């Protein structure tokens, strides 16, 4: 039986970062991945495909130029599923190639197969050809991620009623789409398909959406979605979903309303992918959603030599945070020093328009009883915004009146997910409103919105700290 310093199960963001970190520290590392190619959900069915689809949709529709040429402007008149898939395949191939090369040059060994525990230090790898082998690791990092929640009552067929994995394989674009679940996945896909001029309806039993985002940003977002005729049925439940003989799908809502659509995307959460791991053999147990409990600083599970990182440990379930968790877990696992991560990480929602946020929302600041002031800039106030033809976009910053420090930055509009990092740096470096007032920003840029929002807050804050 081959013996390794660290065995990593899963090659998504957490697994690959963890594996490479341990290899850089001179350790003998094995990655076990059941998928045909390395990369995990992030590369094959999650982050990268959805963001590629978004970019392709925006390019082919000419979305970014519509501020100048009107809503009917299109770069390509008839956009097909094949148009979207073509670019997806090229992007994914590049991603996999880079990963395989990283594994090879760092001497990370990689075996394709499904891992399950035989004991706390031993895993069995089952391969496609029914062969299996045993491997042993001083430490084991579980980076198995999640899979879509697929309840029995949903008549999935991979064609007209699909989950977010199956959506990437559709052969034809529907003329209408109902999205069940107004979480991040549901909202991102709903707005991407709406940008393709597909009639989109979103249904969610909750009366609000994206609750972790500043309300003012969500209100602006909601206004923009309604303005382009997307239907948001919040506080409503799809009680019955039936496939009809004519190929369409009929939904009956709890208020009696009926909706007929060509396609349903069910995006109501994800489950930890722990069912195949035979956890009891290692002395571990997952919760009802398949997730593992870890020490949030070391990512150690209740079994000392077994670590878990990424989506399988729950919130925040992002590729970005998963990478960092995997790196920290691997360092602890092989006995290296691991610093605590910085307090504030950004959240990017790649909807159309995109949203990004870092730090406290206005609601959270109020809840904590911190006296505060907000500064707001609209992209249409910036020269760059004029050049780009932007008629929407908003940057909001919240400052403490006691310390003058930045508490949160919230952005909606073009480039939000890139722009947020300026705010993130100021937050983590404990900067104040003066940073934005006293520094010169490139001109014309969208980043100038920081200056405008900083001045907006500063004008109302005065120059003296509140008691
Ligand atoms: C549609 C969608 C869009 C997203 N967009 C974003 C985004 O824009 N930004 C962002 O930061 N995050 C995004 N995410 C979240 C992001 O994809 C995840 O946070 C990230 O992939 C989690 O990484 P991970 O390493 O935990 O596991 P995963 O990427 O889920 O990878 C786990 C891997 O483990 C393998 N595996 C599981 N069990 C076994 C086993 N028993 N044996 C061997 N291999 C196994 C799986 O095959 C898989 O390849 C998105 C997710 C989805 C679904
Ligand atoms: N840009 C990004 O960073 C990004 C993008 C996509 C996904 N993700 C990550 O993926 C994870 C999963 O996203 P998600 O959107 O699937 O889950 P989620 O848990 O965020 O949202 C699920 C939504 O479905 C609703 N819902 C729950 N059960 C339902 C039911 N039975 N019927 C109808 N609606 C129901 C909930 O009210 C909720 O609004 C998130 O934690 C997110 O962090 C991140």
pLDDT score, position 67: 83
Token pair of 116 as six digits: 């399950």
pLDDT score, position 466: 56
pLDDT score, position 200: 98
The ipTM, to two decimals, is: 0.93
Which residues of the chain register pLDDT less than 50?
A: none
> Do the Cβ atoms of 352 and 191 come closer than 8 Å?
yes
Q: 466 in a domain, yes or no?
A: no
Asked whether 269 lines ligand 2 (CB < 6 A), one says yes
Instruction: Give the number of the ligand closest to the Cα of residue 251.
Output: 2
CA distance linking residue 350 with residue 188, whole number of Å? 6
pLDDT score, position 128: 87
CB neighbour list of residue 274: distance below 8 Å, 6 or more residues apart = 142, 144, 286, 290, 291, 292, 312
Whether 199 and 125 share a structural domain: no
User: What is the residue range of 251's domain?
Assistant: 161-268
Token pair of 69 as six digits: 């040429």
Asked whether 190 lines ligand 2 (CB < 6 A), one says no
Asked whether 182 lines ligand 2 (CB < 6 A), one says yes
Token pair of 447 as six digits: 């980043």
pLDDT tens sequence across 340-372:
777 899 999 999 999 999 999 999 999 999 999
Handedness of CA 306, 309, 311, 316 (dihedral sign): positive
Whether 84 and 96 share a structural domain: yes
Q: 319 in a domain, yes or no?
A: yes
Whether 309 and 401 share a structural domain: no
Q: What residues pair up with 375 in beta bridges, in sequence order?
A: 397
Would you tell me how many other CB atoms lie within 10 Å of the CB of residue 109? 17
Q: 155 in a domain, yes or no?
A: no
Instruction: Give the number of the ligand closest to the Cα of residue 185.
Output: 2
| Cβ-count burial 23-48 (b if 16+ within 10 Å, e if not) | bebebbbbbbbbbebbbbbbbbbbbb
CA distance linking residue 320 with residue 256, whole number of Å? 41
The position carrying tokens 């963890």 is 18
Q: What residues pair up with 233 in beta bridges, in sequence order?
A: 203
CA distance linking residue 324 with residue 330, whole number of Å? 10
Listed residues 333, 361, 380: the one ending a domain:
333
Count of residues in the chain: 467
Q: 365 in a domain, yes or no?
A: yes
pLDDT score, position 343: 81
Whether 135 and 26 share a structural domain: yes
CA 18 to chain centroid: 19
Give the domain CATH number at 305.
Answer: 3.50.50.60
Whether 29 and 85 share a structural domain: yes
φ, ψ for residue 344 (rounded to 5)? Answer: -105, 120
Token pair of 31 as six digits: 């990655």
Radius of gyration of the chain (CA): 24
pLDDT score, position 1: 85
Q: 152 in a domain, yes or no?
A: no
φ, ψ for residue 459 (rounded to 5)? Answer: -60, -35
Q: 73 in a domain, yes or no?
A: yes
Query: Ligand 2 centroid vs 182 CA: distance in angstroms?
Result: 7
pLDDT tens sequence across 133-160:
999 999 999 999 999 999 999 999 999 9
Helix (H) or strand (E) holding 275: none
Whether 136 and 280 share a structural domain: yes
Q: What are the strands of the beta sheet with 406-412, ordered from one edge?
A: 347-349, 355-359, 406-412, 394-400, 372-378
pTM (predicted TM-score): 0.95
Q: Give the closest residue (by CA) to ligand 2 atom 1.
A: 349
pLDDT score, position 467: 53
């Amino acid at each position: 039986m081959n013996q390794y310093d660290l065995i990593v199960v899963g090659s998504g963001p957490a697994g690959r970062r963890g594996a490479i970190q341990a290899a850089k520290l001179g350790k003998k590392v094995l990655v076990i991945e059941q998928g045909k190619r390395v990369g995990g959900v992030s590369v094959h069915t999650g982050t990268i495909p959805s963001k590629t689809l978004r970019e392709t949709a925006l390019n082919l529709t000419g979305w970014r130029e519509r501020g100048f040429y009107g809503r009917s402007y299109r770069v390509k008149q008839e956009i097909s599923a094949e148009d979207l898939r073509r670019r997806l395949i090229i992007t994914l191939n590049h991603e996999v190639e880079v990963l395989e090369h990283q594994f090879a040059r760092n001497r990370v060994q990689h075996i394709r197969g499904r891992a399950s525990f035989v004991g706390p230090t031993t895993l069995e790898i089952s391969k496609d050809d029914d062969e299996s082998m045993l491997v042993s690791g001083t430490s084991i990092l579980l980076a198995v991620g999640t899979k879509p929640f697929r309840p029995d009552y949903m008549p999935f067929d991979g064609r007209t009623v699909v989950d977010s994995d199956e959506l990437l394989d559709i052969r034809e674009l529907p003329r209408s789409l109902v999205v069940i679940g107004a979480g991040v996945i549901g909202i991102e896909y709903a707005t991407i398909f709406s940008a393709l001029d597909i009639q989109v309806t979103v249904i969610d039993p909750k009366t609000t959406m994206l609750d972790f985002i500043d309300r003012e940003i969500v209100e602006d977002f909601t206004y923009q979605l309604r303005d382009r005729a997307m239907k948001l049925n919040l506080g409503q439940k799809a009680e019955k979903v039936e496939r009809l003989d004519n190929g369409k799908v009929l939904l009956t809502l709890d208020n009696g309303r009926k909706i007929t659509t060509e396609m349903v995307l069910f995006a109501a959460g994800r489950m930890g992918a722990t069912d195949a791991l035979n956890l009891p053999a290692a002395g571990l147990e997952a919760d009802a959603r398949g997730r593992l409990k870890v020490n949030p600083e070391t990512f150690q599970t209740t079994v000392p030599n077994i670590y878990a990182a990424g989506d399988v440990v729950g919130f925040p379930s992002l590729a970005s945070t998963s990478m960092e968790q995997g790196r920290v877990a691997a360092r602890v696992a092989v006995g290296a020093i691991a610093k605590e991560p910085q307090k504030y990480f950004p959240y990017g929602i790649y909807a159309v328009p995109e949203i990004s946020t870092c730090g406290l929302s206005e609601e959270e600041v109020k809840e904590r009883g911190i006296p505060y002031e907000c500064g707001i800039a609209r992209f249409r106030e910036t020269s760059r915004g004029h050049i780009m033809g932007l008629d929407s976009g908003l940057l909001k910053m919240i400052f403490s009146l006691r310390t003058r420090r930045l508490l949160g930055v919230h952005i909606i509009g073009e480039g939000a997910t890139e722009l947020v990092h300026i705010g993130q740096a100021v937050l983590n470096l404990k900067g104040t409103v003066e940073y934005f007032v006293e520094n010169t920003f490139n001109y014309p840029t969208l980043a100038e919105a920081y200056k405008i929002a900083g001045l907006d807050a500063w004008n109302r804050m005065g120059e003296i700290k509140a008691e």
